[in-house]
Amino acid sequence: EDEHEEQHSTEQGEMWMEITTANVDLPSRWGGQLIGSDATNRCCQLEKDQCEHQAKRVLDDLWEHLVTMYALQRQTKTLSGVEKRERARARERRRELGVGAAADAYRRARRALIRLGMSTGDKKFPELKKKDVVPFVVSTDDEELGDGKKIPSWIWSDFTMLRGEGPQRVREYYGE
């Protein structure tokens, strides 16, 4: 009986290994001729819905990281003591990594949406340029000469988070 259980366990392990190493290409990786055909429309729509959801989610993450990074930068300016400032800078660097990861994830989702047929000029998911990934300046103390004439990045055009429609963790942050 032990031998039977061991064999069953080995077979399960091999099957699990086969499942976890399987590579399934999503429609955005297919050639242009397959996308848009009647046979693949449902698969394409499923991936498109997933990519749209992901793009929205990572934009929320980007928003959260930028706001938190801005708050940390303001806080760091008021700290005294080398040790406190170093810890604060380390937290800022971690947030910067989060900003970069969220921006990259949005760009990947957008590229997949374009391969699935979305227009490059789509207003719902515009191109995220490096100049767009900036905190929204809340305090006039942080403005620089000429900032009053600048138009804020498009990522700040949707303030659903402040109306309580964003992720719970963001609503809690603004409630503090």
Q: Does 133 score more than 70 pLDDT?
A: yes
pLDDT band at 157 (very low <50, low <70, confident <90, very high): confident
CA distances from 154 to 3, 43, 64, 65, 167 (A): 63, 31, 15, 16, 19
* Exposed / middle / buried, residue 91 (Cβ in 10 Å: 0-12, 13-18, 19+): middle
pTM over cut 0.85: no
The vertex-70 CA angle with 148 and 109, nearest 5°, equals 95
pLDDT band at 149 (very low <50, low <70, confident <90, very high): low
**pLDDT computed for residue 148 by the predictor:** 54
Averaged pLDDT for residues 53-65: 92
Lowest mean pLDDT among 38-47, 56-65, 88-97: 38-47
CA distances from 25 to 32, 96, 116 (A): 14, 31, 13
Q: Does 105 score more than 80 pLDDT?
A: yes
Question: CA torsion angle for 30, 34, 37, 40 (degrees, to 10)?
Answer: -50
Q: What is the mean pLDDT of the chain?
A: 78
**pLDDT computed for residue 71 by the predictor:** 84
Averaged pLDDT for residues 150-162: 70
